[in-house]
Structure 1
């Protein structure tokens, strides 16, 4: 069982780390580390990871040995579970949003409700007689022990209250929203129901069975832990997906466009004077793409004195004659003119006396779209003939 909960803890910790690694703050947009929603999401997921880490039998045994108190891991785990439940409420409050005063008030109420619960768990454990160490079946073994019984019921009720509240909020809010947010709410609802049925009801049934003189311990020891791990992972996916997926798609598109600009960059990069940013390897795909766009624009400006209208017009006529549409013919002609200019500049030729004043399509708009089109045209016509000689690629210095 330790392996299952350790894997769950690792997955949750990884989710929190990925979510916290967000782009730097920009004007009008705070850093991820200063966003209440991001912070509350990371805190909730990290607390979930710590709960699973502490609930593993190996960890419980280590904590008990370290403190010298049998079953000390129980109030530690149940207190953290209550804190995790509180963090889920706070996360839902920040996610739903609203007037700042109302959000602040709801957060304070959540803390006021679960803070005493954590204290009560510790006090009840201190009053109880729990000298026999139990690593996997503490809930059922001490189900009839004074004070331990109340501690077990309290932590279960606290967790159940959050689960029910989450389910209600997800159902109501899910009717008002669409897209990824609705998908995330549905995942949270599924995780909450799975936690309620697979973990909490199993625990309740096993404890009540002990109260009535029956033995359903397997529900608590074998069924509940993996169900809790699965439910926590599904809930975390629901919280994280609406926030990470758009960024992940943006990163993927940035990486795709960055790579698609390779033919253009390898052709013109040798004349670019754009300074390379520090720690380039640590930058996100979007940041790398932005730097490459700036560097290519700088190179195109440097090559402008070598642009030859004659080369462009001959390539344009040839492209139109091949049946290309006007836009594609223009991009093909500009690619041919650029290839010729790069060849002349690489050969240390003199700039033209009357260079072209034609404005490249790639320089007209913002974004990487125009540059990607130019790069694709260069790639498709690699080795294209301009004026009777073959252009050659130039490696970046």
Structure 2
């Protein structure tokens, strides 16, 4: 019996399930926070402007952790760092539910963002190692589990709100689930990273290949961030949807983004990394062009469906390629690419807002379409 357990512990499938569970738990933690933002805003009596300033603390924490995350993962190992970071992530989630004033909320969000980004680098490093064992693309399916966790957390959040359960008690339940998940999966995680022949420096300049991957991620994450923050407003002000249908565009985008991640590995296996990224960029551009040229309910929903498919595979595939770097350890390489790509999340939403204020939302969405086309243009060089 013990021999069976030992063989299971070191099987590729066991590693894949355990790492997939890490992605799910991280997504569950983040989306649980997102589902209760309105409750916390109401509890602390925050205006929309004050909430916007408060929410900026999360990406600040994420950016602050990026260079440190790669070094920590390389020095202490992705297995240990993934488990510890996700545990801290869940603890800080509970702290967010306990926040009694803006100062505590902001400080908690900074640490929440830092823990989330260390977890992000660590679990993606684990995923790179599992993918190497399989010898084929499986990264996108892991990110699909993160998206699936978002839907799960949204459902739980809706239930908690409907039952009148305060965020603190809600987040305690989520933390308990995550702690149980870590305890169950830890022994099945990869004990070390494969193919780590590069440097483990705290800060490292990306080479030409990694820089290009970072720019591809940057362009895609501008699109992704803008769709998260502005799709509802686009349907409200441009499509002029009825109140009950304003969220339909966001839902369409999220559905196809999640679904696309479960088929992206299969597509990449058959047509290759380069063609998959090119097709993804064209889908983003085409979907947004349809929504811009025909700003009516049905065409816009179809357009947002296409954008979701386009966005779905880019970041997972870019992370997969970055993890194969011959010059840097996987964690450091992923942190370098993430540092460039994550700027898209920071720049995208406010850029759309500025352009929308000057020229209208349809013009600002043209910028997203151009970024989607840049995703296709930036993929050049040899097929890997």
TM over 0.5: no
TM-score, scaled to structure 1 = 0.25
Larger helix percent: 2
Q: Tell me which of the two structures has the higher relative contact order, counting C-alpha pairs closer than 8 angstroms and 6 or more residues apart.
A: 2
The structure with the larger Rg is 1
